């Protein structure tokens, strides 16, 4: 700043700097929260995919085992398939209570969680 600036001009410069700094801080906070939520969802997705593949392999093994007990392999697959259809119907009925609300609440908690920075 030069010596011949008026106090009003100085005040406007400081207000402009404050506004830019505040905007940058808001952007950085939004980026930080978004990265936190995405990384949390990505780690949960990795666990979910592992569980899905495990259930798939166990289901195939169970189908063969039940089919062997019943004397016809296809019967085992029909029984396990029927179990998963029943499970899908139950999940459809209770999807809001068991899936939608907990996921929404988890994302909101993650977004509103205060950040503790280490010094």
**What token pair was written down for 16?**
């402009």
Q: What is the pLDDT of residue 66?
A: 96
Cα distance between residue 60 and residue 81, in whole Å: 10
Whole-number pLDDT of residue 95: 86
φ/ψ (deg, to 5) at 3: -75, -20
Instruction: Please list the pLDDT of the chain residue by residue as tens digits (119 residues).
Output: 456 778 888 898 999 999 999 999 999 888 888 888 888 888 889 999 999 999 999 999 999 999 999 999 999 999 999 999 999 999 999 888 888 888 888 878 877 777 666 55
Q: Where are the domains of the chain?
A: 7-112
Q: What does the pLDDT read at residue 117?
A: 61
């Amino acid at each position: 700043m030069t010596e011949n600036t008026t106090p009003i001009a100085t005040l406007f410069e400081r207000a402009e700097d404050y506004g830019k700094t505040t905007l940058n801080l808001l952007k950085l906070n939004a980026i930080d929260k978004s990265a936190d939520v995405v990384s949390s969802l990505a780690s949960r997705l990795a666990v979910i995919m592992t569980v899905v593949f495990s259930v798939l392999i166990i289901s195939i093994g169970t189908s063969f085992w039940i089919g062997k007990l019943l004397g016809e392999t296809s019967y085992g697959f029909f029984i396990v398939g029927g179990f998963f259809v029943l499970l899908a119907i139950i999940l459809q009925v209770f999807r809001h209570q068991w899936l939608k609300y907990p996921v929404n609440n988890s994302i909101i908690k993650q977004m509103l969680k205060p950040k503790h920075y280490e010094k």
